[in-house]
């Protein structure tokens, strides 16, 4: 596709369960970002991948959160033992050095932990 | 620690009015971006400002980057209902490799 896609668009899970959120970046984009946005709030940085470099994990709120990027393309954000405070919209963005610092965002995954 | 602050948090105006929203920080950024986000969608980039004192115009929108590269403003002339949304500013750190976002200004333009 032409843009960043994310799946699922909505996820409802019970407290304590694990969830996986998927991001398909724009083809050829070397950088990939995950953010969390609570209701009506700004974006909270979670993790950043750039090419083959070690990811910047400085924004991950706890060790329950992890992310992988396979083959320099698709990324999966995993939240283990979900808590109610994990409820938020999780946004993925990608960018290309060639295009400068512009980030292209996906539509997000709305996670609700009951 | 919130590196970027935005004001006002909420703004509701009538169609045709002018408005200014602000993005402030005690930190210096190599560049600063403004995004607009509509419900159910990801943010969309409006502009990137790089040079201190820079002014960019995008139709009815005027963006200014402070001389010290610590603050920015967005001015909308003759607002329209289509301008409604969440306006986010984002400062580039690590020479543009990463970004910190402000909490946003939620604008509502009433017809």
pLDDT in 10s for each residue of chain A, 114 residues:
579 999 999 999 999 999 999 999 999 898 999 999 998 678 999 999 988 888 999 999 999 999 999 887 999 999 999 999 999 999 999 988 755 578 899 999 999 999
pLDDT for residue B96 is more than 70: no
Query: Which one of A44, A102, A107 has the shortest CB-CB distance to B41?
Result: A107
B30-61 tens-digit pLDDT: 889 999 999 889 999 999 998 999 999 999 99
Q: Which residue of A has its CA nearest to B1?
A: A44
Query: Which one of B42, B43, B100 has the shortest CB-CB distance to A45?
Result: B100
Residues of chain B positioned with their CB less than 8 A from the CB of A2: none
Q: How far is the C-alpha of B108 from the C-alpha of B32, rounded, in Å?
A: 23
Query: Which one of A42, A56, A93 has the shortest CB-CB distance to B88?
Result: A42
User: What pLDDT, on the 0 to 100 scale, is given for residue A41?
Assistant: 76
pLDDT for residue B2 is more than 80: no
For residue B23, CA distances in Å to A44, A65, A74, B9, B105 come to 16, 30, 33, 11, 9
Residues of chain B positioned with their CB less than 8 A from the CB of A101: 31, 33, 48, 92, 96, 99
User: What pLDDT, on the 0 to 100 scale, is given for residue B94?
Assistant: 65
pLDDT for residue B104 is more than 80: yes
Cβ pair A45:B98 closer than 8 A: yes
Q: To the nearest whole angstrom, how far is the Cα of A41 from the nearest Cα of chain B?
A: 5
Mean pLDDT of B62-76: 96
């Amino acid at each position: 596709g032409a843009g960043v896609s994310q799946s699922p668009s909505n996820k409802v899970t019970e407290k304590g369960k694990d969830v996986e959120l998927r991001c398909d970046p724009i083809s050829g984009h070397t950088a990939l970002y995950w953010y969390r946005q609570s209701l009506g709030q700004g974006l909270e940085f979670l993790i950043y991948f750039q090419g083959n470099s070690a990811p910047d994990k400085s924004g991950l709120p706890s060790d329950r959160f992890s992310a992988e990027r396979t083959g320099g393309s698709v990324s999966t954000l995993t939240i283990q033992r979900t808590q109610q405070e994990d409820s938020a919209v999780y946004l993925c963005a990608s960018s290309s050095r060639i295009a400068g610092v512009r980030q292209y965002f996906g539509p997000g995954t709305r996670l609700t932990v009951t | 620690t919130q590196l970027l602050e935005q004001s006002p948090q909420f703004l509701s105006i009538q169609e045709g009015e002018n408005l200014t929203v602000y993005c402030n920080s005690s930190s210096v950024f190599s560049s600063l971006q403004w995004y607009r986000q509509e419900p159910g969608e990801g943010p969309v980039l409006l502009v990137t400002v790089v040079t201190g004192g820079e002014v960019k115009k995008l139709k009815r929108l005027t963006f200014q980057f402070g001389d010290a590269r610590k603050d920015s403003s967005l001015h909308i002339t003759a607002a329209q209902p289509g301008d409604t949304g969440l306006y986010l500013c984002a400062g580039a750190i690590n020479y543009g490799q990463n970004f910190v976002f402000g909490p946003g200004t939620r604008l509502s333009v009433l017809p």
